[in-house]
Each structure stands twice: as C-alpha cells, then as structure tokens.
Structure 1
Amino acid sequence: MRLTPSRTKAAIGTGLATLALTVASAVPAHAINRVSDDCSWRTDFLRVFNEGVLCFANAGAMDVAIYGVYYVDSGNNVVTFRYRYNPDDSEREVTLPRNSNWTAPITPDRARAHEVTYISIQ
C-alpha cells in the first residue's frame, strides 16, 4: 500500500497524539494547594503561622514566599520545608513527621524566620 501525503500526515499526527498521551499519563499529578477558609483549628492540614495562619492540603511541592514564620505544624502529613532565618542566610531544610511541629529559633534580635521558600507534603 502506498502512503499518500495526506495519509502520511494523518499517521504522524496519530503517532504524536499517542506519544503525548503516554508522556502525560506517565507524569504523576501533584496537587498541593492552599486552603483559603479559616483552618487554624484543623489538625489534618500543614499549617504555617506568621501574622495569620496559612494552610495547605494534598501531596505535592511548591515554591512559596511566606515571611515572618514563627511556627509550622505538620498536621497529619510528613512535611519538608526550606527557610531562611535571616535574609542573607543560606536555606535550611527541615523535615517534620506526622503530627509534629517546628518553632523558629529565638535569638535576642529575632524570633521568626525571615522567609519560608519551599514546602512539600508527602
């Protein structure tokens, strides 16, 4: 059977579509998301405390910029986060097991982390 130009294009298009679906389905979906309602009473979310409380749910990872953090509660999650204690410091990484917490180190001039830069919920 001889392939005409239109059949060749159709075959290539079908092959590319199949390849795209295969690649897309092989990538795991990570859907960490911020919970927007008042969640300060919830014990199943990752909770990050600064002037308020920010809550996150579902497995995944994301870069963030959360300033003035003094307390992190893992909730019912294994959580990894990175922070800078002072603006010029290198990042430090902390992993918390389920149902545990972290408090920012207290020094004479600071009682909060300057910035949390990354969070991951497993």
Structure 2
Amino acid sequence: MKSSALKAALAGAAALAIAVSINAPAFAINKTSKNCIYRNPDQLLYIENYQGTNQHCFANAGFLNGLAIYGVNYIDPGRNRVSIWYYETVNSPSQSRMILEPGRPYDPYPKPPIHAITAIEIF
C-alpha cells in the first residue's frame, strides 16, 4: 500500500515538473557577434561605444545585470522594446533608466557619451 502511494506521488510530481517546464518561457539574453553591425539585418539590440570602436549586440528577451559598457555613443533597440540602466556621467549620484521603443535609436550627441551602461532588459 505504501509503495503504490509513493509511486503515485512521484508520478504526480514528475508530471507537474514536466508541465511547468514546458509552459515556462525562457528568459535569457544572449550577447552575440553574428551580424553585430550598425543597422544590423537581424534587428538585434545594438550598443556602440568609443565612437564605433566597439559594438555589442544582444538577442532574446530577459534581463542582464552587471554590465560595464563605457563611453556609449549610440543605442539601437532594433525590433525590440528595451530598458537601459546607466550612469550619465562619472559623477552621477544615481543610475538613470531609459526605455527605447522598436526602431527608435538613442544618440546622445551633442551631449557627451553615456558614462556606463550597467543593465539591460529586452521585453
């Protein structure tokens, strides 16, 4: 009797785990170098710093914290809605946040480049 109840409980737990894992969306931003160019054909989130010396592209929905992208002079959200956390200047007392809509790039010119991006979220 105990054995059959245990088997039923384990089967139920396994079925629940499978159902939850199948329906759970994946939230993982990936940094990619494929087609990471200005106006990239894949419409990825594109961040350019140091006047185009470095390019950073990100794909897939999710949140990525702990970034340190300095001297940002251009951000193109591509086909994504994105949220960017950043420090405007080296002496900024707190982080700021901007939301960019698809197809609406951000170019700080004529102001100086953004000091540092610390986190991004792709919706």
Bucket of the pairwise TM-score, normalised by the shorter protein: 0.7 to 0.9
SS at match of 2:106: strand
Distance 2:66 2:107 in 1: 18
Distance 1:98 1:89 in 2: 29
Q: How does 1:52-91 map to 2 (within 5 A)?
A: 52-68=54-70, 69-87=72-90, 89-91=93-95
Indicate yes or no: 2:28 matched with 1:31: yes
Q: How does 1:91-106 map to 2 (within 5 A)?
A: 91-104=95-108
Indicate yes or no: 2:114 matched with 1:113: yes
Distance 1:19 1:27 in 2: 12
- Runs of 4+ deviating beyond 4 Å: none
Distance 2:32 2:77 in 1: 14
State the Cα deviation string for residues 83-111 of structure 1 (Å, max 9, x = none): 1123553221111111121134766xxx2
TM-score, reference length from structure 2:
0.76
TM-score, reference length from structure 1:
0.77
Q: How many residues align?
A: 116
Q: Greater CA radius of gyration, 1 or 2?
A: 1
Give the gaps of 5 or more residues in structure 1. Answer: none
Give the gaps of 5 or more residues in structure 2. Answer: none
1:13 corresponds to: 10
Instruction: Tell me the percent identity.
Output: 30
Distance 1:85 1:67 in 2: 12
